[in-house]
Amino acid sequence: MSGFEPENSAQERRQPDVLLVTGAAGLLGARLLHLLWEALPACSLVAVVRGREALRRVPELEGLTVVDGDLRVPRTWATLPATITHVFHVAAAIPRSALEAHSAAIARDNLEPVAHLVEQAQRWPGLRQVVFSSSVAVYGRTTALLDESAPPAPCDLYAAAKLAGEDLLRPLRARGIAVACLRYTSVYGPGMHPGTVLPTMIHCATQQGEIVVHGSGRRTQDFLHVEDAAQANLLACRTGADGVFNIGTGRPVSMAELAQAVATVVTDGRARVRFDRNLPDGPPGYRVSIDKARRELGYEPRLSIRDGLREWRQCLGAPEPCAVSPCL
């Protein structure tokens, strides 16, 4: 058989994959952009952010195309190239309080972009996969060990919107497009929103010299470093994953352990840990099995909470490089 191929066939094979990352100025999105650029140099990258401040935070990567636009608006999607082959939908509206988690706005802001994505996908003939950033919050509060077969039971509109986002993407599968829904535990890293428990502890330890732990400190939480969350996205892409996957460490830590780790790693043991028994411990944290992600994606979390805190400590003296958006 001759090795000659028609010119148009050879050109088609040489076309690089085009990877779209939404929410590319955020904690996870910015790290994912770096990782994809490093790991998949033959691919083209397109990033979507919103606003001048977000544009300033986008990593400067050679060949990166950056689009400034609101994902809730159809015209933003219409400006994207028709050659997209993979979408990493990382953008999300993250509630900053229990009240906001129950607001209609948080549901709308999370669902409208997904609906526009599915609509726009009809005009992307080469689309092969969507990797969707979801949350273990879709399961509801329980002390049970959760695998992907556990029934969803979202307890607020944010969690319900994440579950609905997974469902909205289902029509893509009818076209043979893989949809990988990554249900993260508590993603953390330098630059995350200051109002959550880990940055609050770090602030108290470094600025006040004392960390106050609520109640007994027995409440647990599975903290997932942003680097491991980004790796899960890359693995989902490389394996062509389709389905739902829990992404965490599988090793939750108690609030007492967390406070002690912060005091030891961030302040060399100078900060004091104090328990306030008059404050409630809070709702139970999620315990998830990551066996499916290990088996099907080859996923293995690399950074323990202490490793992640050591990185955070290095960034405390260099706020600019680490100052990324708190939003996914």
- Measured CA to CA in angstroms, residue 61 lies from 37, 45, 56 at distances of 8, 9, 13
Phi-psi category of 198—alpha, beta or left, where left has phi over 0 and alpha has psi -120 to 50?
alpha
Which among 229, 311, 305, 239 is positioned nearest to 35, based on CA atoms?
229
Other Cβ atoms less than 10 A from the Cβ of 222: the count is 23
Written as one letter, the residue type at 303 is: L
Rounded Cα gap, residues 325 and 313, in angstroms = 18
Asked if 223 contacts 185 with a C-beta cutoff of 8 angstroms, the reply is: yes
Entry field: residues in the chain:
328
DSSP state of 26: B
Q: Provide the pairing of β-strand 210-214 with 44-49.
A: unpaired
Rounded Cα gap, residues 62 and 15, in angstroms = 18
Assess whether 158 carries a catalytic annotation.
Answer: yes
Asked if 43 contacts 16 with a C-beta cutoff of 8 angstroms, the reply is: yes
Give SS3 for 131. strand
Q: One of 158, 188, 286, 299 is an active-site residue; which one?
A: 158
For 297-313, b/e burial (b = at least 16 CB within 10 A) is: bebebebebeebbebbb
Dump strand ranges (E) for the chain: 18-22, 44-49, 65-68, 86-89, 129-135, 145-146, 178-184, 186-188, 210-214, 220-221, 223-225, 243-247, 253-254, 272-276, 287-288
Q: Where are the alpha helices (DSSP H) in 74-225?
A: 74-78, 98-101, 104-120, 157-168, 170-173, 197-203
The residues carrying an active-site annotation are: 158
